[in-house]
Every structure is written in C-alpha cells, then in structure tokens.
C-alpha cells in the first residue's frame, strides 16, 4: 500500500485519501473498531480510541512519521519476512528499530496507563529529529544535556540555546523548546536509584549486613553524630534539664508538666516527641504588598532537643508548603487535614518498631502537639477564633473593652487600664480616659501556654 501520503500536507487531497484508506484498512483488520491504537504524532499508538477520534487526531496532529509499518493495525511487519532459504538478516538500524517496536508492543499490550510516559520516551528513541535526519530526538537531547551538565550551564541559558538551535532546524523538528521540556522528556525514563550512607572514614557502606550497624566494623567509630562529651541530645529535656525554677526550655513550662501529669504513660518514655506547629505566610517574589501570591510553610519543631538546637534550621521539619495566588485564610484546615491525621495516628497508635541506636533497641514512638506558633492574623485562621470586631481579644472574650471610631472607621481598644495595680493613680483619672468609669472586672489571668506563646 502506498504510504507516501504520510509526508504530505494535511490540507492536501492526497493526505485526506490516505487517512480514509488507513481507517478502512484498520477496520477490516482489527477485531475491535472501538479500541484502536492512535498513530498520530502525539499518541504514537500508545492510546486507543474509536475511528472517529483517531480521524480527528490525524487531521489535527498529523500522522507519526516513523510509523511506516502498520504492524499495530493488522499489517505484517517487514521484520517477520523470511526468505525461502532461511532467516533474512536485517541491517543493524532496522534491527534496533524492530527491537524498539517489540518493547513498545509488549508495553502497550499491558494497558498500564502509568507507563504511558515511559512509552513516549521509548518512541522518542527512534523518532528522527526532523524528516530525513539521521539523528533521533533522544540522541540530540542527551548530547545537549550532557554538554549542559558538563559545563554547569544554567536552565535559562540552556533554554536560549534550544531556541537558537531550533531556529536553525527545519520547521518540522521535534527538539524541545526549553529546558523544562527537555528535563520532562528525559525524566520519563524513570531510572530508580538508592542512597547508601558511608561510615565516617569511608570504610564500608551501610548496606547488607551493615545496614543497621551502630559502629564501623573496621575503625569502630560510631555511626551517630554525638557531641564532644558523648551525650545524646534527643532526650536532653529528661537528662540535662535544670530545676532552678527558671524557664530556659519548653520543658520548664506548665504545658509540659501538664502533659506529664495527664498522660504519665506518654511521659514515661523521654524519646516520645513533643512538637510545636508554626505557620505564616510569605511573599516569595519580594515585590511589595501589591502581589498577593503567597507561600504558607507549615513547620514542626521538636522540643526534645536542647534550646540551642531545637530552633536550628536543620532540625525544623517542613511538613506542608501551601502556595497559591491567594492566602488560604480560614480554608487552611483543608490543607492541614493530612498532617492532622498523621499527628492523631502518632498520638493514639504511635509508630512501632522504631530503632533507637543509642540503646540498641526498638520502641513505639509517639508524638504530641503541644501548641501552635503564629502571628495574630494567623492565630484566627489556625484556631478558628475571632480576632476582629468588638470581642477580638482571645483572653478577655466577652469582656473586651472596644469602641468603634466612626470617623476613621476603625476599632479602638482602650481597656488596658485594668491591668494596672489596684492603687495606681491612673485608676482615678476617669476624665483622661474617655470620661468613663473604669471597668473594675479584671481580665482573666494568662495560662502557661499563652505566656510562652
């Protein structure tokens, strides 16, 4: 069958007649006309549709130029042709293409949608860079990307190079237009890798019989990083805490003692983690308040460490990063659902079979969330409390002293005088404070959690 129409203009009569002849040939040779591999330049036989959809694809995206043997649509491939004298050996290039077709056929028959990107990658291995080119799309990208990695070229410079090289190629070239597309195409290969840590003096790797070793079998150095005095810092709050009545660490707070009192089984194991959750919005582009695009990092701070370590960046865990054109506001609970589910599970069930390298034993790790850390606007979103209007004070509640200023259209809070001592002279100066009698009911005392926050 004449297939020269594949390379014709899609608006020409020859291409139209060729498409119709291909569809007729396919319907006659395939059993299921509703599930046909689409040979367009985008699908490349890795997605299946009915005849009408395939017809639209062929007019819109063109026929795949390298698909000259219609072996997926009922035609006998040239690779199976044998001479009467015996096997016919094909040239090296045809053998390579036939092997690629075999791989693609086997992968396509699995009907695994997750392998679609990999199938596209395999197809690119035999797709010419442009019509008549001896270099394939994959080979071109590998050479260019190897050059980029060898000389440390930035992504922006690599994008400019691809744009310039593409302008020198024929219009039907398939070279990626930017660095992102090149990375995406190469990543479809999906090669897996495994990390192995090495012992301090590079004696052996932590693998095989040494996977759970705590000391190097040769130099006997410890696997774990400890301080010069050899003390383990994860249970500092239990072993090194001072009892002089001063607050130097969250372990000295009433909240910590409250947890120890209410849940003694949790407090009995000092290895159980006590977390604080912090969240706030940042402007990633640093161009003033006109840009509303924001990032909301949600971090966990482990208070089991000593005070000079627990707030170090490398010990703070970034659990969630919320990004978008607008801040999440009160809908932040939607994004926190997965984290809250994990924290609940770690509190109720814990994580079993956690290995403690210091004591060389396994234990069930549990976690408690002590408090949250945020500014006042974030406090309203995280806790669901009101922070605007007449009752915006989370401590005073209904007793908040507030007044609306009609001219400035703002709320004013003037009830601070009640925090003064009983015999302070300001308590008698009613005219100087709005000319009103002072509210004598004192504000409720602050709890330990609120003092620390």
Say which residue the tokens 């009907």 belong to. 111
Q: Which of 79-83, 111-115, 382-386 has the highest mean pLDDT?
A: 382-386
- Give yes or no for a contact between 101 and 77, defined as CB atoms under 8 angstroms apart: yes
**167-208 per-position pLDDT tens digit:** 999 888 888 888 888 887 776 555 455 677 787 777 878 877
- Quick one: pLDDT at residue 275? 93
Q: What is the 3-state secondary structure (H, E, C) of 77-94?
A: CHHHCCECCECCCCCHHH
Question: pLDDT exceeding 90 applies to what percent of the chain?
Answer: 7
d(CA 440, CA 428): 12
Average pLDDT, stretch 108-134? Answer: 63
d(CA 250, CA 243): 13
Of residues 239 and 424, the one with the higher pLDDT is 424
Residue 90 confidence (pLDDT) above 80: no
Of residues 107 and 179, the one with the higher pLDDT is 179
This prediction has a pTM of 0.46
**240-280 per-position pLDDT tens digit:** 666 777 777 888 888 888 998 999 999 888 889 999 999 88
Of residues 234 and 114, the one with the higher pLDDT is 234
Average pLDDT, stretch 303-307? Answer: 85
- Quick one: pLDDT at residue 386? 80
- Quick one: pLDDT at residue 276? 92
At how many degrees (to 10) do helices 155-168 and 179-187 cross? 90
Q: What is the chain's length? A: 453
SS3 label, residue 314? helix
Query: Would you place residue 49 in the very low, low, confident or very high pLDDT band (cuts 50, 70, 90)?
Result: confident
d(CA 167, CA 177): 10
SS3 label, residue 274? strand
Say which residue the tokens 């409250």 belong to. 258
Residue 233 confidence (pLDDT) above 80: no
- Give yes or no for a contact between 286 and 401, defined as CB atoms under 8 angstroms apart: no
Question: pLDDT exceeding 70 applies to what percent of the chain?
Answer: 76
CA angle at 191 for the pair 172 and 37, rounded to the nearest 5° = 50
Burial zone of 280 (CB within 10 Å; 0-12 exposed, 13-18 middle, 19+ buried): middle
Quick one: CA torsion of 17, 18, 20, 22, rounded to 10 degrees?
160
Measured in whole angstroms, how far is the alpha carbon of residue 30 from the centre of its chain?
43
- Quick one: pLDDT at residue 187? 67
Residue 80 confidence (pLDDT) above 50: no
Average pLDDT, stretch 118-146? Answer: 77
- Quick one: pLDDT at residue 103? 42
Of residues 196 and 447, the one with the higher pLDDT is 196
């Amino acid at each position: 069958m004449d297939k020269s129409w594949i390379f014709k203009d899609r608006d020409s009569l020859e291409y139209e007649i060729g498409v119709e002849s291909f569809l007729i040939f396919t319907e006659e040779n395939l059993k299921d006309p509703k599930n046909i591999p689409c040979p367009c330049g985008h699908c490349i036989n890795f997605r299946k549709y009915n005849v009408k959809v395939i017809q639209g694809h062929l007019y819109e995206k063109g026929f795949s130029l390298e698909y000259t043997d219609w072996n997926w649509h009922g035609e006998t491939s040239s690779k199976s042709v044998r001479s009467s004298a015996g096997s016919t050996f094909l040239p090296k290039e045809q053998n390579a293409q036939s092997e690629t077709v075999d791989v693609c056929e086997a992968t396509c028959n699995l009907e695994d949608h997750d392998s679609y990107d990999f199938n596209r990658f395999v197809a690119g291995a035999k797709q010419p860079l442009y019509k008549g080119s001896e270099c394939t799309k994959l080979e071109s990208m590998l050479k260019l990307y190897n050059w980029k990695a060898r000389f440390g070229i930035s992504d922006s410079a690599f994008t400019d190079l691809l744009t310039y090289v593409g302008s020198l190629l024929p219009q039907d070239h398939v070279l990626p237009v930017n660095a992102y597309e090149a990375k995406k195409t190469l990543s479809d290969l999906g090669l897996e890798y495994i990390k192995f840590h090495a012992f301090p003096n590079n004696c052996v790797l932590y693998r095989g019989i040494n996977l759970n070793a705590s000391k190097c079998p040769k130099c006997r150095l410890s696997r774990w990083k400890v301080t010069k005095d050899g003390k383990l810092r994860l249970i500092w709050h239990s072993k090194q805490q001072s009892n002089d009545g001063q607050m130097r660490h969250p372990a000295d707070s009433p909240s910590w003692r409250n947890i120890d009192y209410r849940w003694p089984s949790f407090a009995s194991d000092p290895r159980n983690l006590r977390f604080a959750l912090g969240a706030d919005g940042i402007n990633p582009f640093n161009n003033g308040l006109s840009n509303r695009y924001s990032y909301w990092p949600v971090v966990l701070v482990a208070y089991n460490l000593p005070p000079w370590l627990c707030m170090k960046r490398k010990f703070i865990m970034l659990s969630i990063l919320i990004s978008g054109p607008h801040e999440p506001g009160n809908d932040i609970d939607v994004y926190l659902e997965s984290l809250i589910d994990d924290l609940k599970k770690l509190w109720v069930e814990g994580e079993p079979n956690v290995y403690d390298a210091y004591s060389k034993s396994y234990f069930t790790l549990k976690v408690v969330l002590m408090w949250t850390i945020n500014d006042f606007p974030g406090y309203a979103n995280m806790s669901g409390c009101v922070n605007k209007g007449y009752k915006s004070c989370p401590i005073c509640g209904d007793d908040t002293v507030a007044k609306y200023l009609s001219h400035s259209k703002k709320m004013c809070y003037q009830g601070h005088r009640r925090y003064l001592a009983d015999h302070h002279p300001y308590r008698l100066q009613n005219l100087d404070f709005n000319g009103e009698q002072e509210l004598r009911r004192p504000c409720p005392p602050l709890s330990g959690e609120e003092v620390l926050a």
